Amino acid sequence: MNCIVTAGPTFEPLDDVRRLTNFSTGRLGTELANFLTARGHRVTLLIGEMAVDKTERRAKFVKAFSSTADLRAKLKSFSGKKVDAVFHAAAVSDFMFGQIFAGKSADEFVALKTSKKISTSAGNLLVELVPTPKIIAELRGWFPKTKIIGCKFEAVGKRADAIRAARKQIADCATDFCVANGPAYGKGFNLVTSHGKKHFPDRQKLFAVLENFSRG
């Protein structure tokens, strides 16, 4: 199979030196890419520049991404090419920075127009957070005949909430499968499909089933 695996966090710049990101390490996606590579598949790993996991990256092709826009552009560049499966495990930022306002006084703020390092002399800042594009929702349009596997990391709630969120992703984004995990789910993973679900206590067993499903 020709596979694309995304892993690790995006980041959104505030200025030239500061950024908004998340705690994703990139481990799950990197290990999945290594598993598929060891099984003889042609794998492209798109990995966040800020991924801190030290696992060796054995995929045939490894490309780093920065922001949500950068990851989106790299994925879209594969549209129209032969791609058998996309495993979207990257932790994409939910928000990016919009306008930035500096406080002239306690009740008066003016817009900052610089993209350079913002000095503390600017005083208090008000920063607009704007939702980022939902890449998972665009994948089916770019890859109409490809098996698409998403991930749903839920931090709050119970196991049933994580599974419910995974099912919603499948319905809303026309993905084939979704892997539910995170603190809300608890230990292990759940591979959710439109027809059912299955718990996996460890990632290696999950990877084997993902490979098998993606071949079908």
- Say yes or no: 60 and 110 in one domain: no
Query: Are 21 and 57 contained in the same domain?
Result: yes
Task: Examine the domain organization and report whether 166 and 211 are in the same domain.
Answer: yes
In the predicted model, what is the mean pLDDT of residues 32-37? 98
Structural domains in the chain (count): 2
Q: State the average pLDDT over residues 24-44.
A: 97
Structure tokens at 173: 């984004």
The parent domain of residue 86 ranges over: 2-93+133-215
User: Are both 49 and 6 inside the same structural domain?
Assistant: yes
Q: What pLDDT sits at residue 186?
A: 97
Residue 110 pLDDT greater than 90, yes or no: no
The answer on 48 and 33 residing in a single domain is: yes
Task: Compute the mean pLDDT over every residue in the chain, rounded to the nearest whole number.
Answer: 94
Share of the chain above pLDDT 90, in %: 85
pLDDT band (50, 70, 90) for residue 107: confident
Measured CA to CA, the distance from residue 155 to residue 131 in angstroms comes to: 19
- Is there a single domain that holds both residue 106 and residue 207? no
Q: Predicted confidence band at 124 (pLDDT cuts at 50, 70, 90)?
A: confident
As a whole number, mean pLDDT of residues 83-88 equals 98
Concatenate the DSSP letters of all residues of 97-113 into one string: EEEEEEEEETTEEEEE-
pLDDT band for position 106 (50/70/90)? low
Query: Counting beta carbons within 10 angstroms of the beta carbon of residue 169, is it exposed (0 to 12), middle (13 to 18) or buried (19 or more)?
Result: buried
Residues 123, 144 within the same domain: no
- Would the pTM count as exceeding 0.85? yes
> Which tokens in the block code for residue 66?
């920065």
The pLDDT of residue 115: 66
* 104 and 145 inside one domain: no
* CA pair distance 180, 82, nearest whole angstrom: 27
Same domain, 116 and 141: no
Pair 189, 166 in one domain = yes
- CA distance linking residue 185 with residue 132, whole number of Å: 25
Do 25 and 125 fall into the same domain?
A: no
Residue pLDDT, tens place only, 129-185: 999 999 999 999 999 999 999 999 999 999 999 999 999 999 999 999 999 999 999
C-beta separation of 169 from 136 below 8 A: yes
Same domain, 71 and 122: no
